[in-house]
Structures are given as structure tokens and as C-alpha cells.
Structure 1
Amino acid sequence: MLWVKSLHIVFVASWFAGLFYLPRIFVNLAMVAPESVAERARLVLMARKLFRFTTLLAVPALGFGLWLWLGYGIGRGPGNGWMHAKLALVLGVVGYHHGCGVLLRRFVAGQDRYGERWYRWFNEAPVLLLLAIVVLVVVKPF
């Protein structure tokens, strides 16, 4: 079980690293002047590659988490309400990841709707999600 838990932690940390950096690329994309075609193309290429790589990291992170939950019974049974809250937040992370993909497709299509300030705020969501998830797992408040 410790191997599975270790792999879960490594893949979750790696997944979140991508989720921390991808919106930073969006901030830079939102700041690119319309005439800077090469800069925009380079940032879009970086964002596309990072999104693909981050998606590949998300799959084993979720898989190892499910293995711990369903295979080893971590967080199951009475007194494990923290796990329900954690799973809800994990769904939020998956939704955030999906949202990054939607925003990336809009950048690729040249249909960006938001300014750099919005992306700066958007960039804070994974930090808050990770903080809440770690607190739930370590403290197990309910």
C-alpha cells in the first residue's frame, strides 16, 4: 500500500505543478499584443504541450487514488466524512483541469474572452483546492 500511496502523491504533485503553471501561460497569452504573432504561437504551443502532459499525469494520480480508496479501503466506513469532502474537491480539480482545456481551445481559436487580471485570479484556484485537500487528508476534521 505504501508504494501505491507514494505513487499517488508523486503524480498528484506533478499534476498540480502543471495546473499551477498552465494558467500562468494564459496570463502571458492575454498580455500578448495582437501584432506579436510569433510570441502568441510560441505560448500557445507551450500551453498545448503542457496541457497534454498534465492530462497524462492526472490519469495515474486519479487511478492510484481510486486504488487506495477502493482497493485498500482508505477513507471508507463510518467517521470518514472528510473523504466525501475530499472527493468533491477532487471533482473540482478535474473540472478545473477541463476548464483549462476549454480556455486553451479558445486561445487556439483566437476567441479569448478574458483579460490578464481574470487569468491571474483563475490561477489561484488550484492553490486553494490543493490546500483544502491536504488539510482534509492530514487533519481529517470530520
Structure 2
Amino acid sequence: MIDFLNSVYPWIKAIHIMAVIAWMAGMFYLPRLFVYHAERAQVGSELDLTFQIMEEKLLRVIINPAMIVTWIAGLIMIGLGAFDWGSVWAWVKIVSVIAMSGLHGWLSARRKEFAAGTNTRSGRTYRIVNEVPTVLMMVIVIAIIVRPF
């Protein structure tokens, strides 16, 4: 099995990169939807229901599957020796990916609050949160490509 995985390593890496792109696209967009949802939609209104559908489908159809594929492909690459666990960059990357996954979970919980009509956070909160995936993505890319530490 290891020989097979090594032989398809470039495909695993390509799948990983494509999944990361899809995951990040959703992680950039979902907090932006929350900004508009919090600022413009009254609970129970047609706009509220439209935002709920958009947010739920974005999570269920794009963000969740992309995160799962990202993790699976990443763990396979780690298993094949893609990480140098003695280097700081590897730890920075894995901690940042775990933080991104935690943010994913936090955003999922906020979607449930919007669906229940119990959101208490302002558009400003979601504007600030909207910057977190960008910062984490920058740290992850620099850690894996530049390996400055």
C-alpha cells in the first residue's frame, strides 16, 4: 500500500491543494455572508431564510467536504514523510491548520445560531472574524513554502 501511495504522491498533493483552495474559498465567504445576514435580515424574513439556505449549503456542499479531503490528503502526505517534525515550520503549519479547523467549527456553530434565530453577534464581529482565515492561510503557506523557521 505504501508503494502505491508513494507512486500517486503527486496526485495526492494535487488533490490536497485543490481541496485547500475550496476550503479557503468557503472560509473567506461564510463570514462575509454572516456580516450581511446579521446587518440586513430580520429573523423569519424571506431574506433571513435565503441567507440560511446559502450558509447551510456552503457548509454542507463545499466547506465540510473540502476540509475533510484536505485533512485526509494531508495526513496521507504526513504518513509518507512529507513533514520534518524536527523543524519549527512543520509545527507552525499543523497548529495553524488545527486553528483553521477550530474556526471552521466556530463558524458552523454560528450558522446554527442564525438558523435558530438566536444570533447575538454584530456584523462588525463577523467582519473581524472574516480576516482570521486570511491570516492563518498566509502563515500556513509561508510555513510550507518558505520554511523560514
TM-score band by shorter chain is over 0.9
Structure 1 stretches lacking a partner, 5+ long: none
Note the aligned Cα RMSD (angstroms).
1.3
Deviation for aligned residue 1:75? 1.2
Aligned residue pairs, count = 140
Q: How many percent identity over aligned positions?
A: 31
Q: Runs of 4 or more off by more than 4 Å in structure 1?
A: none
Contact 1:82 1:140 in 2 (8 A): yes
Aligned to 2:35: 27
Equivalences for residues 1-142 of structure 1 within 5 A: 1-34=9-42, 37-53=45-61, 54-70=63-79, 72-78=80-86, 80-142=87-149
Q: TM-score, normalization: structure 1?
A: 0.93
Deviation for aligned residue 1:132? 0.5
Deviation for aligned residue 1:36? 7.0
The residue type equivalent to 1:62 in the other structure is W
Contact 2:23 2:66 in 1 (8 A): yes
Structure 2 stretches lacking a partner, 5+ long: 1-8
